Amino acid sequence: MRRITRTIRLTCALAVAGALLAGCGLLGGTKDGRGAVAGMDMQGAAERADAMFYETVGAIKPEIEWVHYTTTTGSCDVTRYWNVMTVVSPQRRGNFLGVVENSWKARGYRIKTVNPDKDMPEIIATSPDGFGISVLFGHEGQAFFEVTSPCVDESKVAAPTKVANGRTYEGDIPTPNVRSDFWSAETPAPGPTPSS
């Protein structure tokens, strides 16, 4: 029994390590040391991430308020984060996620995971060019978007140029504080919900 447990743990550890290495491009880089996305550097990847997010929130009607959160860089990848400031009630989260999922599918994204958890639902997808994108509801119902690039060439990364459509905050970003007649309503709405 111990041998089986050890084998399962080792297999899981190797699978996780392989996924992490692939995500950082270490298994997909080119022989000349360049990133896995030919001709793209970290700044280009950050701009692509921004465009993916703007397309996504552009598909959400009625409009939601959002703010830029942060940018992180790895050894050869870039991740951008955004916070949704519109209150999305528990009754409307399924609709919100359904709109996002349909938007991603329409652009050829592959849906990898749909987590229908009541308190912290999430959708994770991959774009045709290898960028990972996700939306997650977290603490106090705050919706977060994240886009991570595949491995690209190293470069400096500038802050996003587009101004957030929500108010600006000094210091920590608060939990959602913008009410919407539609998204904040505490009754179910007809319309799309994420696939299971």
**Each residue of 76-100: pLDDT tens digit?**
999 999 999 999 999 999 999 999 9
The predicted model scores a pTM of 0.79
Average pLDDT, the chain: 83
User: Domain locations in the chain?
Assistant: 34-148
The two tokens of residue 18 are 């392989």
**Each residue of 9-47: pLDDT tens digit?**
333 333 333 333 344 443 333 333 445 677 899 999 999
Nearest residue to 53 (alpha-carbon basis) of 193, 170, 161: 161
pLDDT at 191: 65
